[in-house]
Amino acid sequence: MSPPLIELSGITRTYGSGEALVRALDGVDLRVEKGEFVAIMGPSGSGKSTAMNIIGCLDRPSDGQYRFNGVEVATLDQDQRALLRRHYLGFVFQGYNLLPRTTAIENVELPLIYKGQRKAERLVRAREALARVGLEGREDHTPSQLSGGQQQRVAIARALAGEPMVMLADEPTGNLDTKRSVEIMELMQELNRDAGLTIVMVTHEEDMAAYASRLVVFTDGKVVRDEAMAERGA
């Protein structure tokens, strides 16, 4: 039986010391299987973003174990963790994080440059990723020539271009109106259903979480709710 793709066991994360000690995560256990679409919710300061940063190898736990596809992440050095992020994880952020003077296709190419792919192969992969998110014909547009929803599609295409095992999305609809938010969530749901992409998404919006197949709720650094959901549009 294959291991879960993501496994957090007894994860704690503390900041500061003494009276200034903050326990952002307090003994978190969480498993995500391949092909799941998990929405993580919770109030501000609940630990959801800290958990996402640990899963994304952007932060380290103070205690506990984090295994990615069966590998204990704590045993990896800094370079190995960077390789894990580069080759297995795709990131989508609330603020898009696109280079403003760079075209859509050049933005999508960026992670492939870091992976050392040749120019011709990068262009093919980037065009395929943009077409996959419905932006065929917009390859040469800069972010200022695209709507917020289109910019987020470019960001999703950039994450997809590296063919990750997991997409980590942090408030991906936070800067979008309702119509564009629904479009982005329908796209992510499609990528999960049709392509089998594993998605872990942090959101504060219940309507957006309803597109996931599983809901995990954090409060005070603990998982207080973990349940399967009937997907919207299923």
Span 99-153, pLDDT tens digits: 999 999 999 999 899 888 899 999 999 999 999 999 999 999 999 999 999 999 9
In a domain, 223, yes or no: yes
In a domain, 49, yes or no: yes
Q: Could you report the per-residue pLDDT of 179-211, keeping only the tens digit for each?
A: 999 999 999 999 999 989 999 999 999 999 999
Q: Could you report the per-residue pLDDT of 150-176, keeping only the tens digit for each?
A: 999 999 999 999 899 999 999 999 999
Average pLDDT over residues 60-72: 96
Q: What's the rounded Cα separation, in Å, for the pair 112 and 39?
A: 27
- Three-state helix/strand/coil letters over the chain: CCCCCEEEEEEEEEECCHHHCEEEEEEEEEEECCCCEEEEECCCCCCHHHHHHHHCCCCCCCEEEEEECCEEHHHCCHHHHHHHHHHHEEEEECCCCCCCCCCHHHHHHHHHHHCCCCHHHHHHHHHHHHHHCCCCCCCCCCHHHCCHHHHHHHHHHHHHHCCCCEEEEECCCCCCCHHHHHHHHHHHHHHHHHHCCEEEEECCCHHHHCCCCEEEEEECCEEEEEEECCCCCC
How many structural domains does the chain have? Answer: 1
pLDDT recorded at residue 189: 96
In a domain, 170, yes or no: yes
Q: Residue 28 sits in a domain of what CATH number?
A: 3.40.50.300
Average pLDDT over residues 26-30: 98
Average pLDDT over residues 203-227: 96
pLDDT recorded at residue 72: 96
Q: pTM for the full model?
A: 0.93
Q: What's the rounded Cα separation, in Å, for the pair 78 and 221?
A: 26
**Which of the two residues, 2 and 59, has the higher pLDDT score?**
59
pLDDT recorded at residue 18: 87
- Residue 127: count of CB within 10 angstroms of its CB: 18
pLDDT recorded at residue 233: 55
Average pLDDT over residues 201-224: 96
Residue 120 CB burial class (10 angstroms; 0-12, 13-18, ≥19): exposed
CA-closest candidate to residue 129, choices 100, 181, 167, 101? 167
pLDDT recorded at residue 232: 63
In a domain, 209, yes or no: yes
In a domain, 116, yes or no: yes
Whether 231 shows a pLDDT value over 70: the answer reads no
In a domain, 103, yes or no: yes
In a domain, 202, yes or no: yes
Average pLDDT over residues 57-74: 96
Residue range(s) defining the domain that contains residue 163: 6-228
Number of residues that this document lists for the chain: 234
State the average pLDDT for the chain: 94
